């Protein structure tokens, strides 16, 4: 019985991890509703690292891990159980997850008891430029 529970738990964790992992032409757009942070893009890699990107009108996605005088430390991510997303030093509860959108929550570090939400929306690099995955569903 214990082996069955562990097998199911591990398969859920692996399935959740596989949704976060991006292909070379895929990015997750980050929107934080508590501090109105928007339009930063991330790629999560199978080895537990991630990269940050900005989106420019002409150039498209450009790597932005370091901000000139401010260098990022190790950029890590992992799934704890099947519902906790560990991202760098942050801990997020996975509220909703699909191949197109992930909704995360966390409690604000300054305001006691305030629950905040982060939405990750999948984008892809297409021959016509970067597009949200949702917009591709309407194209036939």
CATH code, domain carrying 56: 2.40.128
pLDDT confidence tier of residue 4, bands split at 50, 70 and 90: very low
At residue 110, φ and ψ (nearest 5 deg) are: -105, -30
CA distances from 131 to 9, 23, 42, 115, 123 (A): 34, 15, 14, 30, 6
| pLDDT over 70 at 86, yes or no | yes
What is the extent of the structural domain holding 66? 2-136
pLDDT tens digits, 8-36: 445 567 899 999 999 999 999 999 999 88
Number of domains present in the structure of the chain = 1
Look at residue 2 in the predicted model and tell me its pLDDT.
40
């Amino acid at each position: 019985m214990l082996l069955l529970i562990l097998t199911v738990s591990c398969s859920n964790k692996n399935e959740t991890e596989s949704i976060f992992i991006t292909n070379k032409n895929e990015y997750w757009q980050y929107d934080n509703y508590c501090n109105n942070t928007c339009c930063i893009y991330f790629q999560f890699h199978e080895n537990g690292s991630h990269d940050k990107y900005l989106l420019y009108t002409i150039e498209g996605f450009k790597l932005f891990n370091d901000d000139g005088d401010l260098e990022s430390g190790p950029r890590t991510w992992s799934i704890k159980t099947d519902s906790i997303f560990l991202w760098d030093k942050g801990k997020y509860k996975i509220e909703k997850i699909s191949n197109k959108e992930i909704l995360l929550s966390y409690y604000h570090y300054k305001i006691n008891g305030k629950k905040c939400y982060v939405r990750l929306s999948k984008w892809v690099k297409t021959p016509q430029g970067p597009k949200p995955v949702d917009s591709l569903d309407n194209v036939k």
